[in-house]
Amino acid sequence: MERRVRVRFAPSPTGPLHMGGVRTALYNYLFARKHGGDFILRIEDTDSHRFVPGAEAYILESLRWCGITIDEGVVEGGPHAPYRQSERREIYLKYALALVESGHAYYAFDTPAELDTLRTEYESRGETFSYNHSVREQLNTSLRLSSEEVKARIENGDQWVIRFKMPANEEVHMHDLIRGDVTVNTSTLDDKVLYKSADSLPTYHLANIVDDHLMEITHVIRGEEWLPSLPLHYLLYRAFGWSDSQPAFAHLPLLLKPTGKGKLSKRDGDKMGFPVFPLQWTSPEGETAHGYREDGYFPEAFVNMLALLGWNPGTDQEIFSMDELISLFSLERVGKSGARFNPEKARWFNAQYLRHKSDAELTALFMPILAEHEVTADPNIVERIVGLLKERATFVRDLWDLSWFFFKAPTEYDAKGVKKFWHEENIAKLRELRAILAAATDFTATALEPMVHDWIVSHEYSMGQVMNAFRLAMVGQSSGPAIFEICEIVGRDETLARIDRALDSLTQ
Ligand code: GLU
């Protein structure tokens, strides 16, 4: 019987979620929805040293902002609750002990100081210490000590860990849905700690395998950085006798820097002025980092951009709604090689989404920005202005720079424009134009444009000269949207007042 698809996003709350993490969550979500399965959020917080307050709330809010909905998780609950590993701590010891019992794991009593000494000793010989088959029988482990001694040490309160007994020389054959078959020889691997008595907590490896099994996860879709752990995970499934039901694995390609080599990091973002986090983050120490949301990106644009960083639809289509992504997504179309992040493309996506928003929607977003500039305006007029300008904006906030002159008269005039267009001849023509506009019966753009056009042509004036001088008076600069739209929107009185003011202040 086909198993119901169940995937999980399993972040550790060690800081703000990187956009690579959001992509992992997104691909899991798309895969779950596409197959009519479940998307589970599990918080992997067993590393108490790396726990950062606020990180879990940040993760939840990031997914909510992106429109990634959770079926089972820390807030939603579900049949396998709790979904926070720190609340499942009593589950794990039993499994660690079962592995000791079956000979797949052992107790180790080495203190951190003893391990440090060993490391230094090895280093002084130019070697690297690795806790593995070559040393485990000589060290303070249950493989060397008698069972009485092990028992006595535990009862005495000595600290211990349980380590996985990695086979000495075995080829582990694995399969990855993106990379195909992968084989690793265990001689390169060490005996990872699975459980620590010091804090009565499992490590990532044990908790992750036990929970994926108990939560009936069918597909593990995660970042490439976990590929080196895959042999251990395979062997853990085998040691538990769960190989038959172990999940399929897919390791996603890294997100690469915009230029050069390496992983996309926060430093790249700081240097080049783009966020690497979905939301703004303030660390417990008070440091803040930029977020896509606060920088003015639409969540749909961010999600669309992320979806294409590693996956391709096999066509030229670039704009996808979440529903389209769900129906088109497949792991077969996820690439093996790193996906290069392009900040310009991220802005391009935002501009695309901005121009496809309705004028009414953009107006609602723009009104608060107008209020910040102490402008009170009729929303119907703002809607018209937004419609005229949205093709030129990348972010909603750009609309102010593109449209302020609809709301305020210019107080300064662009020096270059003045030099080029503000001379005697044009000034005289502008006075004529003022009289024509004052007398116009119909002050709409559609009526004004042909009228002024005919006047210029019939007098054989230069269109560029007159119109640029006029524009300078109206907006203080030589570029902007259609001038007669501006006249109509600001109205006749304001149009004439702006011409008068320019004539006054520029013509001394
Ligand atoms: N807790 C791990 C992380 O922070 C999860 C890795 C996995 O998905 O297995 O990325």
Residue 310's pLDDT is 97
Q: Looking at residue 108, what is its pLDDT?
A: 98
Whether pTM > 0.85 for this model: the answer is yes
Query: Which residue lies with its CA nearest to atom 5 of ligand 1?
Result: 10
Mean pLDDT of 351-368: 98
3-state helix, strand, coil in the chain (%, to 5): 50, 10, 40
Q: Give tens-digit pLDDT for 150-183.
A: 999 999 999 999 999 999 999 999 999 999 999 9
Q: What average pLDDT does the chain have?
A: 96
pLDDT digits (tens, 9 = 90+) for 279-328: 999 999 999 999 999 999 999 999 999 999 999 999 999 999 999 999 99
pLDDT surpasses 90 at 119? yes
Mean pLDDT in residue range 126-150: 97
Looking at residues 422-436, what average pLDDT do you find?
A: 95
- How many angstroms is it from 263 CA to the middle of ligand 1? 17
- Residue 493 — very low, low, confident or very high, per pLDDT cuts 50/70/90? very high
Q: Has residue 508 got a pLDDT over 70?
A: no
Judge whether 266 counts as a catalytic residue. yes
Mean predicted confidence (pLDDT) in 344-363 = 98
Q: From its phi and psi, is residue 54 left (phi > 0), alpha (psi between -120 and 50) or beta?
A: left
Cβ atoms of 421 and 468 within 8 Å: the answer is: yes
* Contact criterion met (CB below 8 Å) for 161 and 195: yes
- By alpha-carbon position, which residue is closest to atom 3 of ligand 1? 11
Please provide residue 374's backbone torsions phi and psi, each rounded to the nearest 5 degrees: 55, 40
Q: Give me the pLDDT at residue 1, please.
A: 67
User: Of 34, 196, 263, 266, which is the active-site residue?
Assistant: 266
Atom of ligand 1 nearest to the CA of 220: 8
- Interval between CA 42 and ligand 1 midpoint (Å): 9
Q: Are strands 6-9 and 38-41 parallel, antiparallel or unpaired?
A: parallel
Share of the chain above pLDDT 90, in %: 97
Mean pLDDT within 459-485:
94
